[in-house]
Amino acid sequence: MAFGQQRIEYKTNAQMRSMAEAGAVLNRALGKVLASAAAGVTTKELDEVFAGVLKENGATSNFLGYHGFPATVCTSVNEEVVHGIPSGRSLRDGDVLSIDGGAIVGGWHSDSARTMIVGGAAAADPADQRLSDVTEESMWRGIAAVATGKFVGDIGAAIDDYVSNVPGAQLGILEDYVGHGIGSQMHMAPDVLNYRTSQRGPRLRPGLCLAIEPMLVRGSLQTDVLPDDWTVVTTDGARAAHWEHSVAIHDGGIWVLSADDGGASRLEPLGVIPVPVPAA
């Protein structure tokens, strides 16, 4: 979603290293949630798993209570695109599950989302697995553009170009929900679009931290919000996927704050070598 045209916050190396600590906790929490997701498990139980990891690591949730949101993570299943509220809903094999969460350490935020198919490859509809895979790869193409581009708009162009040219059935990029700046708050300027426009946006420069989060659908781009005032669903019932990472730009390069290797395994094949944020 758009968050207005507030002033952009540029971080020091020390602040970005604190964000990396938050990202490390978040990565562990999301990993444990995904490992716990199985047929018969409720989305509320996944929320409890996530909350437990944050507590064990001295972190707090930036989702819980945000504009009244009642949980520590968003759990979106199948046609639910984003902002799904954990509940007593039991997962089933073949469900497309997107988990979106955040953590705060020392006042600094991280934000990340992952999509999986419950039950793994044996239970997956190949079209659903492709949806998640293309969404994930489009995110990495956008992250690579943080290193190689000049303006924030280059990120959306890279995502759009990849999705538009991937072989097979065309997937849709949602335009109503976009990425954002992140730092001392979860949602900050600038907006990070997931599609190509004529707007260049702010210049990519050291100290800028961004949450890059494409959301793709197998059908129409039209969405509705359920009566809970949070859960966004595709109007036609088509399935959706959501991937997100928080990324820092510093004088030496970029570092994916919410990936355990800074994004190296996915960025190096794209010609980008991530560099840890320096200590000083």
Binding positions for substrate are 83, 187
Rounded to 10 degrees, the C-alpha dihedral 265/140/136/211 comes to 120
Query: Residue ranges for the binding site for a divalent metal cation?
Result: 100, 111, 180, 213, 244
Give the pair of three-digit tokens for residue 177. Answer: 């929900």
- Per residue, the 3-state secondary structure of 19-77, as one string, reads HHHHHHHHHHHHHHHHHHCCCCCEHHHHHHHHHHHHHHCCCECCCCCHHHCCCCEEEEE
Query: Residue ranges for the binding site?
Result: 83, 100, 111, 180, 187, 213, 244
Relative orientation angle of helices 126-148 and 153-165, to the nearest 10 degrees: 150
Q: What is the largest CA-CA distance in the chain?
A: 51
Closest among 265, 74, 278 to 186, alpha carbons compared: 74
| Strand 96-105 to 172-173 pairing | unpaired
Dist CA 36 CA 68 (whole Å)? 26
**Cα four-point dihedral sign 122, 173, 215, 85:** negative
The H-or-E segment that residue 148 falls in is helix 126-148
- Read off the amino acid at residue 169: A
- Read off the amino acid at residue 72: T
Three-class SS of residue 117? Answer: strand
Relative orientation angle of helices 13-36 and 43-56, to the nearest 10 degrees: 140
